[in-house]
Structure 1
Amino acid sequence: MRDEAGWLEVGDRVYTRRYRFYDQQIGVVVGDGEALVIDTRSSPGQARELIADIGRLTPFPVRQVVDTHWHYDHLFGNHDFRPATIWGHERCRSRLLENGERQRAWVAETEPALAAALESLVIDPPDRTFDPATTVEVGGRRVELAYLGRGHTDADVIVVVPDAAILFAGDLLENDAVPYFGDAYPLEWPATVGWLLDLVSGPVVPGHGSIGDRAFVERQLADFDAVAAVARRLHTGELDRAAALAAMPYDPSSSIEPLDRALAQLRGELD
């Protein structure tokens, strides 16, 4: 049951809050005297809203942050959480330094409601990076961070809270909508989610949409397997494009981007 501030306790002192903007899930792990937050939202204003919501959840300060990947909607709120330590995969840092300003310009153009807020944005990448995994202590609790392989991006990390059997998947998983494939590696995404599936022992919190379980992960994995398989059949000429779109696990209009991205990877066009 959610509290008055909208937080749902999914495990012992592990909370999620589902925000309307992009149907995003934010996580908080509370330990003795401190807290860790998973992702910081899309703008300074959204970050300040999150900080206020956390303040209604716990009196303890947020001393650590995890960026699950380098997309703006997960880390453009970073600066407002300083002086907290911010963790991320090493490519999360390098990608944000490389394309953060391009992301800002794109968001200002495509999300007019955020344009003014982003004028004051300080792009603030993770200062503690790792590859492939590390362990963070949060007030006496162990929190595990791991990069399992390329999928939604080349820098996705999961967050596991072992003592509560909770797994935060970031955008490796998305519920209630077709996942975003614009920066994805569709041929590798199934294997990455396969590794993730081996770690599931309780609730699974996706980057967007409803909290899931093992069966949810299995369904999403089947979809990713299908995307890769259909793309290979199109690439070899076994299917034409119309037949390939019809064979995808998503509706035809939603299938164009994942299919084209998979074909680009098959042609060796992705770095």
Structure 2
Amino acid sequence: MRINRIKNRGILFTYDEPGWDLNLYLIRGRKYNYLIDTGLGSLCIEPMKEYLKGKETIVINTHYHWDHIWGNGSFQEGIIVSHKLCKDMIQSKWDEMLQKNGNYRMGEILKGLPNLVFDKELIFTEDRIRLFHTPGHTIDSISVLDEEEKVLFAGDNVGDSEEDIVPSLYCDREVYEDTVNKYKELEFDICLSGHNTILKKEVWNNINESLAGSKRRD
């Protein structure tokens, strides 16, 4: 596991899996800790515990996919936030995801369902943390903007590498294009995602160009 400090209050935990990286992001706010995604099970959470001391931790699931939620069980007594569609999709897809991808599990896996859900937007005013619906990679995808430090966590709406920055899409491409344009209007300078490296805001221009090139080829 690699640990990178992002500006003053962010910590990026990166797990090296064969062929892909997995990023979990912690924002240590004034009132709460905000842990974005929980990875592959309880052993993903274990190295973070030292960083979580002293404040209540709010867990944020960017979308329902297994590699982002299997550590939820370590926080069942706390607040787990997601889009309203995410909770239902975790429930309905749980057994299938575990059967297909169970070989990736790290430690104990318990079904920790979101217990605070929203539709369009949710803001934690005290810490200037904004969550908002950004469908693309999945229909339930959300993103997290640290408005104080101008850091965006875009979940899997960025592809897995700098060479392959357009993600796999589980909704119409036009929906994703609208989300990309929404990102470009926001004020931030660092972009983090579920699997890619630390990027700048310009990544959304590159994604727009890739989408336009794909349209021309179609």
Coarse TM-score class (shorter-chain normalised): 0.7 to 0.9
Residue 200 of structure 2: aligned partner? 213
Residues 1:64 and 2:58 are matched in the alignment: yes
Distance in structure 1 (CA, Å) of the matches to 2:214 and 2:172: 11
- The answer to whether the 8 Å contact 2:136/2:169 transfers is no
Residues 1:170 and 2:155 are matched in the alignment: yes
Compute the displacement of 1:9 (Å): 2.2
Label 1:208 to 1:184 Cα distance change in 2 as closer, same or farther (>3 A).
farther
Residue 87 of structure 1: aligned partner? 81
Residue 172 of structure 2: aligned partner? 185
Distance in structure 1 (CA, Å) of the matches to 2:47 and 2:163: 26
Compute the displacement of 1:6 (Å): 3.9
**TM-score of the pair, normalised by structure 1:** 0.71
Compute the displacement of 1:81 (Å): 1.9
Residues 1:144 and 2:142 are matched in the alignment: no
Paired residue type of 2:118: F
- The answer to whether the 8 Å contact 2:31/2:127 transfers is no
- The answer to whether the 8 Å contact 2:76/2:112 transfers is no
Distance in structure 2 (CA, Å) of the matches to 1:53 and 1:197: 34
Label 1:229 to 1:105 Cα distance change in 2 as closer, same or farther (>3 A).
farther
> Aligned to 1:25, what secondary structure does the other structure show?
strand
Residue 40 of structure 1: aligned partner? 38
**TM-score of the pair, normalised by structure 2:** 0.87
Q: C-alpha deviations, 1:22-54, integer Å up to 9, x for none?
A: 3112111112364110000022333xxx3x322
Q: Percent of aligned pairs with the same residue?
A: 18
Distance in structure 2 (CA, Å) of the matches to 1:177 and 1:40: 26
Distance in structure 1 (CA, Å) of the matches to 2:92 and 2:215: 28
Compute the displacement of 1:228 (Å): 4.6
Label 1:77 to 1:218 Cα distance change in 2 as closer, same or farther (>3 A).
same
Paired residue type of 1:156: S
Pairing partner for 2:142 from 134, 154, 157: 157
Residues 1:98 and 2:92 are matched in the alignment: yes
Label 1:229 to 1:192 Cα distance change in 2 as closer, same or farther (>3 A).
farther
Distance in structure 2 (CA, Å) of the matches to 1:19 and 1:177: 20
Q: C-alpha deviations, 1:51-85, integer Å up to 9, x for none?
A: x3223435334520100001010111101123220
Residue 238 of structure 1: aligned partner? none
> Aligned to 1:183, what secondary structure does the other structure show?
coil
- The answer to whether the 8 Å contact 1:67/1:75 transfers is yes
- The answer to whether the 8 Å contact 1:63/1:84 transfers is yes
**Bigger helix fraction:** 1
Residue 15 of structure 2: aligned partner? 19
Gaps of at least 5 residues in structure 1 are: 234-271
Gaps of at least 5 residues in structure 2 are: none
Pairing partner for 1:197 from 178, 184, 195: 184
- Between stretches 215-224 and 156-165, larger displacement belongs to 215-224
Aligned ranges 1:103-142 → 2 under 5 Å: 103-108=97-102, 112-114=103-105, 117=107, 121-137=109-125, 140-142=126-128
